[in-house]
């Protein structure tokens, strides 16, 4: 069968592009089932239906097209964009993950030499960047589920591959979150299973360092997860059957300010134990963390998370005080200062938060007392400014009347600068008006060269 040509679309193929934009999955499925549409057909710009669906953020449509054999790595687009690039531009992490799971290559570049991760970063889709940078192929892990060479049994039982891969793929490296992922999979809450898992993580860490293109970031992540799994194993061997004692240890705050001191020391210890001392990433982490006193910023977790996932340190979002998940939308009903992602996390954290909750309430009450007084001061200042402005405007008007009566300056000069409430309106040299805003011609120039 001949390869699809750009713009060579049948009526049904043009119709499915419209259906994708509308998001009608059932109608699209009917067209695909009737073989009326080539799943990898190209519009006049070289975009496939999968690219359209990814860019529009239609997850169900992307899933349908992939099930019908859509080529996730097609790069016939006029500027070399792939479906993964469009997924990153859309900002949809679920679609980005879907493309990666379908075999999307992360190293392909477009016509200006940018990868999918770089394109997503360019438009501010940092969550998608994190998903792409933290992708780890399931096939690489499943290699260890088969006996190699003279082995009689695999290093990793097949039943553990799925739960372990989920932990590897997580973009939230908070140790509490990783322990919670272990707890939610009963097959992992077993000493023998955890031992096999951390041994495989150590092998993957070694592989990342010794491969031709050394991947220090992935090696450090594998080592860190291995350390958390080893800590889970140690607590299981101490008869902590459900790992509840480990979670409490990681969350417990010190008496003075509630800072989780044990968690900070544990993460620092994980970094210190990284076995490849010559790694540049390790040296950078040590230089960033070593001078910082425990309890001060930046914490070891924030430094490690930014190094491994690329997450922005000052993103405008709330994080769960328990597990560190982004987008926490629930607050402590008493102090309103601490956020959580779920009621479960709030209950887990209450044993340590209750000691600090009252002091946080008092801080909030003091702030509320100060707020009305500050607002009154601002209102007074505003009234004073308005009175001064009105007085100056009246003086200017009187001066203009006197000059005009004397036959002085032309009226058009008096109009610039204006004393009207709308502010200056005349244009200055250099293509800008005197509010510092580009004229239309300048806007067009920015679009051409931006």
**Spatial CA neighbour of 313 closest among 304, 322, 321:** 304
pLDDT tens sequence across 47-68: 999 999 999 999 999 999 999 9
Over 70: is that where the pLDDT of 449 sits? no
Give CATH superfamily name and number for 11-129: Ankyrin repeat-containing domain (1.25.40.20)
Nearest CA to 20 out of 9, 36, 31 is that of 31
Torsion 231-233-239-240 (CA) sign? positive
Over range 106-110, report the average pLDDT.
92
Nearest to 41 by CA among 14, 20, 22: 14
State whether residue 40 is helix, strand or coil: coil
pLDDT of residue 426: 39
**Residue pair 153/220 in contact by the 8 Å Cβ criterion:** no
Query: 327-341, pLDDT tens digit by residue?
Result: 899 999 999 899 999
Please answer whether residues 41 and 48 qualify as being in contact, where contact means their C-beta atoms are separated by less than 8 angstroms: yes
CA dihedral sign of residues 338, 344, 345, 348: positive
Exposed (0-12), middle (13-18) or buried (19+): which is 128, by Cβ within 10 Å? buried
Residue with tokens 């591959």: 161
329: left (phi over 0), alpha (psi -120 to 50) or beta: alpha
- Residue 401's pLDDT band (cuts 50, 70, 90): low
DSSP string, 35-100: T-S-TT---TTS--HHHHHHHHT-HHHHHHHHHTT--TT---STT---HHHHHHHHT-HHHHHHHH
Q: Name, in order, each residue with C-beta under 8 angstroms of 95's C-beta and a sequence gap of 6 or more.
A: 54, 57, 59, 62, 87
Confidence of residue 190 (pLDDT cuts 50, 70, 90): very high
Q: Which residue has the higher pLDDT, 239 or 196?
A: 196
Q: Tokens 């956020």 label which residue? A: 339
pLDDT value, residue 320? 95
Residue 415: pLDDT band with limits 50, 70, 90: very low
Bridge partners (DSSP) of residue 433 are: 427
Query: What does the domain layout of the chain look like in residue ranges?
Result: 11-129, 139-315, 415-449
Section 208-213 average pLDDT:
89
Which residue is listed with tokens 């070593």? 290
Contacts of 190 (CB under 8 A, 6+ apart): 236
pLDDT tens string 12-48: 999 999 999 999 999 999 999 888 789 999 999 999 9
Length of the chain: 450
If you search the block for the tokens 């293109």, which residue do you land on?
Answer: 213
> Has residue 303 got a pLDDT over 80?
yes
Question: Given pLDDT bands bounded at 50, 70 and 90, which one contains residue 402?
Answer: low
């Amino acid at each position: 069968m001949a390869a699809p040509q750009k713009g060579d679309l049948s009526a049904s193929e043009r119709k499915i592009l419209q259906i994708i934009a509308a998001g009608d999955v059932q109608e699209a499925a009917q067209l695909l089932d009737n073989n009326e549409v080539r799943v990898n057909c190209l519009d006049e710009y070289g975009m496939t239906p999968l690219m359209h669906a990814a860019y529009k953020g239609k997850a169900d449509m992307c899933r349908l097209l992939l099930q019908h054999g859509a080529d996730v790595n097609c790069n016939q687009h006029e500027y070399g964009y792939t479906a993964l690039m469009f997924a990153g531009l859309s900002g949809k992490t679920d679609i980005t993950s879907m493309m990666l799971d379908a075999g999307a290559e992360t190293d392909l570049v477009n016509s200006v030499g940018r990868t999918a991760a770089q394109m997503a970063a360019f438009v501010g889709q940092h969550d998608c960047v994190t998903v792409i940078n933290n992708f780890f192929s399931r096939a690489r892990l499943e290699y260890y589920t088969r006996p190699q060479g003279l082995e009689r049994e695999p290093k990793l039982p097949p039943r553990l591959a799925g739960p372990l891969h989920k932990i590897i793929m997580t973009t939230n490296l908070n140790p509490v979150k990783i322990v919670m992922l272990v707890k939610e999979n009963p097959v992992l809450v077993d000493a023998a299973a955890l031992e096999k898992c951390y041994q495989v993580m150590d092998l993957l860490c070694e592989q990342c360092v010794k491969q031709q293109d050394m991947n220090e970031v992935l090696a450090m992540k594998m080592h860190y997860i291995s350390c958390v799994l080893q800590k889970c194993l140690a607590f299981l061997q101490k008869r902590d059957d459900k790992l509840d004692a480990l979670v409490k240890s990681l969350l417990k705050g010190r008496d003075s300010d509630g800072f989780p001191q044990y968690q900070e020391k544990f993460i620092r210890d994980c970094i210190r134990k990284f076995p490849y001392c010559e790694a540049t990433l390790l040296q950078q982490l040590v230089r960033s963390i070593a001078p910082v006193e425990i309890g001060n910023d930046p914490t070891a977790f924030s430094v490690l998370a930014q190094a491994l996932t690329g997450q922005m340190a000052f993103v405008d979002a709330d994080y769960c005080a328990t597990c560190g998940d982004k987008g926490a939308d629930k607050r402590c009903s008493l102090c309103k200062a601490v956020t959580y992602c779920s009621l479960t996390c709030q209950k887990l954290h209450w044993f340590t938060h209750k000691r600090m909750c009252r002091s946080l309430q008092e801080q909030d009450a003091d702030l509320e007392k100060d707020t009305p007084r500050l607002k009154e001061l601002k209102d007074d200042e505003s009234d004073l400014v308005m009175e001064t402005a009105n007085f100056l405007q009246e003086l200017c008007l009187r001066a203009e009347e006197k000059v005009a009566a004397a036959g002085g300056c032309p009226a058009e000069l008096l109009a610039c600068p204006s004393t009207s409430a709308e502010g200056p309106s005349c244009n200055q040299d250099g293509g800008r008006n005197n509010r510092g805003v580009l004229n239309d011609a300048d806007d067009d120039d920015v679009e051409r060269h931006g």
